[in-house]
Chains A and B, each alone.
Chain A
């Protein structure tokens, strides 16, 4: 057993570091805070990576992947976290892309993969509905065949950043009489500019607008946009959920956030000393670092398994649960660290015209400004992507056999 990276892996790290150093836009460094970013900012790095051929490290080489090993991909994400790049949104690269190259036909691959790789086409995910959250299979949106079109009706919700999306991938019910709710569902690609598609922003607790209600009223979609077979959408949906799990734990980003937390706690004063010298506070930071170290090795063990040919299994639920818990505790502790200056409402967030936001001038130290908003926003991580309760149910069944 050995924790060190090989000389080849070290050399790879150097190469990656140099590339980021030379190419990542300096003004976006460390942003990673979606609320402050324009859609152009959010895709800037994706587009640079697209040109280099590095936007989809996990894809097979023949479709535009890099051929990197899981360990190299891990190094890649660490180096990105180091400077706080804004990585490609998951909807294209991590979600719909693999479904298209695995189950799509030639025409779909030709049409969609290049735009996903280059970052020119913005995707969104239309799975959840008001009545179908954790129980996704109970979804009601219908797609009815009408000649060479589907007529789609229904309401999706929580569609992340759909306000900028060019295309969306949707789960729709094509056979309402199927024996089980999981059957009779199809995976359909929809051009978001099609008449009848209406996207309405939902304001979140932190004041941001990152999710939407998506209404579909008599939306006519050519049958060519069906991926794979009709009524087999659940299989693809599950494939997608299980697919890109690496990076789900967010270890590299959390490590960077711990450093930031230490910087804040060094600037804040308690009894005339930096807060970080306070044992109670320092202990909580150490506890986080310990949990994070454990998670990092757990993730590396999972990666090593993958490298040896074992697919990602239900262990990824451990990564989701611990990863999000750590992220949430980090934001909690950051809010604790900034003390009184956690209270001022600052800077929203002009994703929606007409919402001018609040305070026009900054209050308190820079690092305190987003502490509360980030804490509120990060509550989502234990809810979405399969809630942490659902992840525990998966472990119960799949690992413990209960």
Chain B
């Protein structure tokens, strides 16, 4: 057993921590998310330069041979600063599909661009009526000779306004919710027939509704085996879950620290409010929930290469535990900040908002509790 990070990992953490502290301060972030672009390509370029965007790829694919633990370290630091740049969609999701199932030609085509920051991806998987089921697809890709014709509507595609490319899930055969017949495609966003409507999200990011209107895709747009992508999607989204749990841990750590600090400064009835035992105990519960979340995040991260059942159980366990902690810590932080907690001016509310939306990404607590229950019999 070893819960230590390597020297290199410590260096990455320190470097990122400095970047977030120095260039992602609150006012700069606020201005950036309110700007027309809504993000900072120059930060993206810097992440590429630091090797962050290439970290999880093997050296033969043009990366730096890191793994899930590295992604965890990165995401925790991002969570602390509420970084909006699309590391999960680009590096974890698109990168994951390419890494696990891409052909040599597809890797050649895309991974270099991810590593050097020139290609940005969004992962279009959710649908208006699919809830959290990756197989509940109305989007179809019909075989047409040597190509596919893609039609459908994807909901709340995070990072799509910034993306040059999309990874899309679609049904190539079978009935809605069948496990077979699901496929994954990669395409440039400017492909003819791709229509996007861009908007802001409540947690300060950007997303799009993406419509595919008879989009013609060459057969080499298919990633992995036709119709057999569901296990692949589950693997990649479990990786995304582990990464986002780490992000949530970073955000919870800061929210807790800010609340603790506030409770020492804010005086009512002649004493710092942190002297009230009822608040003390709640801050203890928040702290405990945070520590438990870190443990579940480690578990999810370290089980990503275990058996499928072990991996899924660990990812769902993390999504349940971290989701519950995110709600507890978000709500209590706001409450202990009193009126200031519900203002746009104070940072704490923005941590609360990010933690709120985190809960529903890649499945909410109920969804993953069910998945955990259903996997119990498979051990």
**What residues make up the interface of A, taking CB atoms closer than 8 Å to B?**
128, 131, 133-135, 138, 157-158, 202-205, 207, 211, 268-272, 275, 278, 280-281, 332, 335-336, 339-346, 358-359, 361, 363-365, 372-373, 375-377, 379-380, 382-384, 387-389, 392
Listed A/B pairs (19) with beta-carbon separation below 8 Å: A138-B270, A158-B339, A272-B176, A281-B366, A332-B327, A340-B126, A343-B207, A344-B202, A345-B200, A358-B199, A363-B199, A372-B202, A372-B357, A376-B202, A376-B353, A379-B341, A379-B342, A383-B339, A389-B276
Query: Which residue of A158, A271, A377 contacts B133 across the interface (Cβ within 8 Å)?
Result: A271
Query: Which residue of A158, A272, A339, A389 contacts B279 across the interface (Cβ within 8 Å)?
Result: A389
Chain A residues closer than 8 Å to B177, beta-carbon distance? 271-272
Cβ–Cβ contact B331 & A379, under 8 A: yes
Tell whether A384 pairs with B339 under 8 Å between CB atoms, given A203-B344, A269-B129. Answer: yes
Query: Which residue of A128, A269, A344, A365 contacts B339 across the interface (Cβ within 8 Å)?
Result: A128
Check: B268 CB closer than 8 A to any chain A CB: yes
Check: B197 CB closer than 8 A to any chain A CB: yes
CB distance from B333 to the nearest CB of A (A): 10
CB distance from A288 to the nearest CB of B (A): 15
Cβ–Cβ contact A205 & B353, under 8 A: yes
Query: Which residue of A205, A280, A335 contacts B349 across the interface (Cβ within 8 Å)?
Result: A205
Cβ–Cβ contact B349 & A376, under 8 A: yes
Tell whether A205 pairs with B369 under 8 Å between CB atoms, given A363-B197, A389-B276. Answer: no
Bound complex: CA A45 to CA B220 (Å):
63
Bound complex: CA A345 to CA B372 (Å):
31
CB distance from B265 to the nearest CB of A (A): 12
Q: Which residues in chain B, 234-271, are within 8 Å of chain A measured between CB atoms?
A: 267-270
Bound complex: CA A278 to CA B366 (Å):
10
Cβ–Cβ contact B342 & A383, under 8 A: yes
Cβ–Cβ contact A375 & B356, under 8 A: yes
CB distance from A120 to the nearest CB of B (A): 30
Q: How many A-B residue pairs have CB under 8 A?
A: 141
Cβ–Cβ contact A383 & B338, under 8 A: yes
Chain A residues closer than 8 Å to B267, beta-carbon distance? 131
Tell whether A135 pairs with B343 under 8 Å between CB atoms, given A345-B199, A364-B128. Answer: no
Cβ–Cβ contact B342 & A344, under 8 A: no
Give the interface size bracket for B toward A.
Answer: 35 or more
Cβ–Cβ contact A336 & B366, under 8 A: yes
Cβ–Cβ contact A341 & B156, under 8 A: yes
Bound complex: CA A358 to CA B199 (Å):
8
CB distance from B263 to the nearest CB of A (A): 12
Tell whether A343 pairs with B203 under 8 Å between CB atoms, given A203-B343, A272-B176. Answer: yes
Bound complex: CA A138 to CA B278 (Å):
22
Given A202-B345, A335-B356; 17 other pairs, CB 8 A cutoff: A135-B268, A135-B269, A271-B177, A278-B366, A281-B366, A336-B360, A339-B360, A340-B360, A343-B357, A344-B200, A358-B199, A372-B202, A372-B356, A376-B202, A383-B335, A384-B339, A387-B338
Chain B residues closer than 8 Å to A363, beta-carbon distance? 156, 197, 199, 209
Chain A residues closer than 8 Å to B155, beta-carbon distance? 340-341, 364
Chain B residues closer than 8 Å to A280, beta-carbon distance? 366, 369-370
CB distance from B223 to the nearest CB of A (A): 23
Query: Which residue of B199, B202, B335, B344 contacts A382 across the interface (Cβ within 8 Å)?
Result: B335
Chain B residues closer than 8 Å to A207, beta-carbon distance? 344
Query: Chain A residue with minimal CB distance to B208?
Result: A363
Chain B residues closer than 8 Å to A342, beta-carbon distance? 202, 357, 360
Chain A residues closer than 8 Å to B128, beta-carbon distance? 340-341, 364-365
Bound complex: CA A128 to CA B268 (Å):
12
Check: B26 CB closer than 8 A to any chain A CB: no
Query: Which residue of A205, A268, A278, A384 contacts B343 across the interface (Cβ within 8 Å)?
Result: A205
CB distance from B135 to the nearest CB of A (A): 10
CB distance from A327 to the nearest CB of B (A): 13
Residue among A131, A135, A335, A379 having the largest count of chain B Cβ atoms under 10 Å: A379
Query: Which residue of B131, B133, B201, B331 contacts A343 across the interface (Cβ within 8 Å)?
Result: B201
